Amino acid sequence: MNAQMTIPARAWAEILMLSLIWGASFLAISFALREIGVFTIVTMRVLGAAMVLWVYVLARGLALPREPRIWGAFLVLGLLNNVAPFCLIVWGQQNIPSGLTAILNASTAIFGVIVAAAVFADERLTPRKALGVSLGFMGVAVAIGISSLKSFDLRSLSQLAIIGSSMSYAISGAFARKTLTGLPPQVAAAGMTTCATVLMLPVAYLTEGMPTLDYSAATWAALTHLAIIATALAYLLYYRVLAVAGSGNLMLVTLLVAPVAIVLGAVILSEDLRPAAYLGFALLALGLVVLDGRLLGRARR
């Protein structure tokens, strides 16, 4: 039987960093939407990230892939990991409560584990992994508020959009592990965001026209975070974790994104942090301990 992928301590640190980065992106999107359209936000996000990543790749003198197969994979990933989920999340966030958005986004962890188990022999769905993901998802729901689920309706296109983004992320993680193993993460991220930019430029221009660039400082700060930190830097971490922990384990980051968004809302926007949030955080922490397994193993020994 194939040895199962685990999450090394360094990968856990990188997953935590990713959750901090992507948790702040919800706040950045809400600021950007005040002045910019959905497709323009996504285009500026992937374009800015691609520019930063190519400067890094060229400065490091990294070899560029020339095989059509690799560039075909970049195109698929640009669609599945950037264009589709970014557009769906930004569009959906306009029409549904942020709490429900975060809960639906956390479903990426569930889809990710299921897709990885179906594709990879070393990421099979064990009882411990299933229990850990379930506890983590329950913790997210409790932290945000179970009442948010009362507005869940599969007939709502906005809610289906967030679920669609979660499925797209899960499939793209497995596809990336299958096709880009061994490729430097900097090159993979640069190629993916470049193809995403090529796909988004005509869509944004035809639907929303040329951007004016006459935005407030808050909007430019939001765009800078989305492009440089939440995309360029985040995908360098993304591909590093993917290589050592697997696609299913990587998707667990979405369980941590929602609590980060809650805490940032409390600190920056003075939103109320309810007592139930602490119970949710505790359930989430328990789920992560179960998923990691090392503390449980020590306790048994």
Of 152-156, 176-180, 210-214, the one with minimum mean pLDDT is 152-156
Could you tell me the pLDDT band of residue 292, with boundaries at 50, 70 and 90?
low
**Does residue 260 fall inside a structural domain?**
yes
Of 46-60, 76-90, 93-107, 221-235, the one with minimum mean pLDDT is 93-107
Tens of pLDDT along 202-258?
999 999 999 988 999 999 999 999 999 999 999 999 998 988 888 878 888 887 887
Query: Is residue 234 within 8 Å of residue 22, measured between CB atoms?
Result: yes
Give the C-alpha separation, 136 to 110, whole Å. Answer: 10
Of how many residues is the chain composed? 301
pLDDT score, position 83: 95
The identity of residue 260, as a single letter, is V
**Does residue 5 fall inside a structural domain?**
no
**Does residue 169 fall inside a structural domain?**
yes
**Does residue 200 fall inside a structural domain?**
yes
- Residue 222 backbone dihedrals phi, psi, to 5 degrees: -65, -45
Tally of structural domains, the chain? 1
Mean pLDDT of 92-117: 78
**Does residue 121 fall inside a structural domain?**
yes
**Does residue 171 fall inside a structural domain?**
yes
**Does residue 12 fall inside a structural domain?**
no
Give the residue numbers spanning the domain of 244.
19-293
Q: Is the pTM of this model over 0.85?
A: no
Average pLDDT over the chain, rounded to an integer: 85
**Does residue 269 fall inside a structural domain?**
yes
